[in-house]
Amino acid sequence: MDTVYILWLRQMKHYFRSGSRIIGSIGQPLLFLFAFGLGFGPVFEQAGETDYFQFLVPGIIGMSILFTSMFNGIDIIWDRQFGFLKETLVAPVSRIYIMLGRTLGGATIAVFQGIIILSISLLVGFQPHNPLIIPAAILFMLLTALLFSALGIAIASQLEDMQGFPLIMNFLIMPLFLLSGALFPLKNLPAALNIIVHINPLSYGVDGIRGSLLGLYEMGLWLNLGALSAIAILLLTIGAYFFSKIQI
């Protein structure tokens, strides 16, 4: 387990030593939060729904976690280019521990990003229905971050092209985000769209975060928790398999 901790700690130090990375990674979520929250709020309220800003905050937290955790995989390609990955893989430790350390590091950073967005939202008027339930929201953030961090690593393990990874990530991330219920309620959707939304893993993360913070579950607490846990275990297994097959 020392291997897992050391690689997790490396991810943490790399993140906190890069102030520009922290600021840059919260810029886009905040832009979405204020642009959509202020722009679509009146339209949303005219439709008889609740305050759109309150509804939107959990979705933007999910967006921040999705982007941060998925792009965690690029560190593998970066380390491969500069030789650090080879030095890590030839060490007398299991590759599964190496993958877990990287996944936990990326997930921790993503959760931290989500907490930053939540904190800023609280300062500008977001009101959870019960502040004591915030730890439950953090649990859903962690499960979502683990899931997508593992997915990012699984994809990066199969790539060597630094330029190709961001293109693939953007191709996956935007549909996952837009079809997760982050920006709109899940009720009364067309049948085809409803199926897609329920296949999307991020839907369960966003709904879990929103339900914990606002008490507004669309799919239910236990379904969200069970789906995220099962998919996270599956993707961790797949990610560990692909990472173990990396050629050096």
**Calpha distance 175→170 (Å, rounded):** 9
Between 54 and 165, name the one with better pLDDT.
54
Over residues 206-232, mean pLDDT: 90
Which of 22-26, 48-52, 105-109, 223-227 shows the lowest per-residue confidence on average (mean pLDDT)? 48-52
Over residues 75-102, mean pLDDT: 75
Q: Which residue has the tokens 């846990």?
A: 229
* Percent share of the chain, pLDDT over 90: 24
Phi-psi region of 155 (alpha: psi -120 to 50; beta: other; left: phi over 0): alpha
Are 206 and 180 a contacting pair, CB within 8 Å?
Answer: yes
Task: Write the pLDDT tens digit of every residue in 86-98.
Answer: 677 777 777 788 8
Are 226 and 140 a contacting pair, CB within 8 Å?
Answer: no
Mean pLDDT of the chain: 82
pLDDT for res 49: 57
When mean pLDDT is compared over 6-10, 81-85, 213-217, the highest value belongs to 213-217
Between 172 and 21, name the one with better pLDDT.
172
Over residues 106-117, mean pLDDT: 91
Task: Write the pLDDT tens digit of every residue in 8-23.
Answer: 888 788 777 776 677 7
**Closest by CA position to 63, among listed 163, 209, 240:** 209
**Calpha distance 214→134 (Å, rounded):** 10
When mean pLDDT is compared over 38-42, 98-102, 141-145, the highest value belongs to 141-145
- 3 state DSSP class of 27: helix
Task: Write the pLDDT tens digit of every residue in 132-165.
Answer: 888 999 999 999 999 999 998 888 888 776 677 7
